[in-house]
Amino acid sequence: MSHNEPPAEQPTFIAPPAGQPAGKPGWARKRIAVPAALLIFFVGVGIGSSGDNGQEKTSTDAKAEPRPTVTVTETVGAEPAKADDAKPATDDERPAAAEKATVPDFVGMGLQSAQDKAQELGFFHLTSHDALGRDRMQAFDRNWKVCGQNVKAGTSASTDTELDFGAVKLAEDCPAKDEKPPAARDGKMPDFTGTSVKSARGALDSGTSLTVEDASPEGRWVLVESNWQVCTQQPAAGVTLNGRPVTFTAVKFGETCP
């Protein structure tokens, strides 16, 4: 060893605590290395907690979105279209004038045949009624025959004209003229004797209370009123009704009233 070199530094020996054996100093505290990123996280949390006392701050920099603007445009001085401004109809757009045809004699023909003949001539407004005044419906035209017509045979009429046929069933005789049920005049009770219950009901005010009973001792239900004829009535003919209830007794057509 040279006298010019400083003496080597001797390690400093620290005595272990009592009861700890000499040797490797396992009892000494070790330093723990903490990553810098973790330290920054804890520091940031501490600053944020102490700055707002645990309360959230509301940003004053946020701005509300503008509401959409609706613009209403009003036209001033506009006038509604006038009827005179409408375009006049041309000849093609105007309805064609109804033609004329000679009305034939339908009396004696079957109702279905009479209707077919009328349609061949251009008459399509057709109707029919019970010539006996019983107010029956012509459900099956082939079962009825024509007794009369509202337009005289041989007349030249517009094809728009309504033709009305008075008809009876094939086995029945045509009346001399259409039979019509009596009407209540001046609020007095008509004489309904011999007329059908259905036509008598139709001649009364629609609000009249009406009771119909079988005049025979059989006590039958009066279901199809056009097939039943009135035998008796209350009140009597000529009595002022004034809303009074009406009672009929009746039998079927072809039967004799008791």
Average pLDDT for residues 222-246, to the nearest whole number?
96
| Residue 143 binned pLDDT confidence (cut-offs 50, 70, 90) | very high
Query: 235: cis peptide before it, omega within 30°?
Result: yes
Among 127, 144, 132, smallest CA distance to 181 is for 132
In the structure encoding, which two tokens stand for residue 56, read together? 């959230």
Residue 99 sits at φ, ψ, to 5 deg, of -85, 170
In the structure encoding, which two tokens stand for residue 158, read together? 């517009």
Among 168, 169, 189, smallest CA distance to 177 is for 168
List pLDDT tens digits, range 101-137.
Answer: 999 999 999 999 999 999 999 999 999 999 999 999 9
List pLDDT tens digits, range 160-205.
Answer: 999 999 999 999 999 999 998 888 888 999 999 999 999 999 999 9
> CATH classification of 100-169 is 3.40.50.920, yes or no?
no
Residue 179 sits at φ, ψ, to 5 deg, of -90, 130
Distances (CA, A) of 126 to 117, 135, 212, 224: 11, 17, 34, 26
pLDDT, position 10: 52
pLDDT, position 98: 76
pLDDT, position 180: 87
Spatial distance between the Cα atoms of 109 and 117, rounded to a whole number of angstroms: 10
- How many helical (H) and strand (E) elements, i.e. helices and strands, does the chain have? 3, 8
The residue type at 254 = G
List pLDDT tens digits, range 9-65.
Answer: 555 444 555 555 544 444 444 455 555 555 454 445 444 444 444 444 444 444 445
Distance between start and end Cα atoms, the chain: 172
Spatial strand order of the sheet with 228-234 comes to 210-214, 246-252, 228-234
**Alpha helices for the chain (secondary structure H):** 36-51, 111-120, 197-203
Spatial distance between the Cα atoms of 100 and 123, rounded to a whole number of angstroms: 9
Burial of 118 (0-12, 13-18, 19+ CB in 10 A): buried
List pLDDT tens digits, range 66-101.
Answer: 555 545 445 555 555 554 555 665 655 655 667 999
**Count of Cβ atoms closer than 10 Å to residue 28 Cβ:** 8
With 0.85 as the threshold, say if the pTM is over it: no
Domain coordinates of the chain in residue numbers? 100-169, 197-252
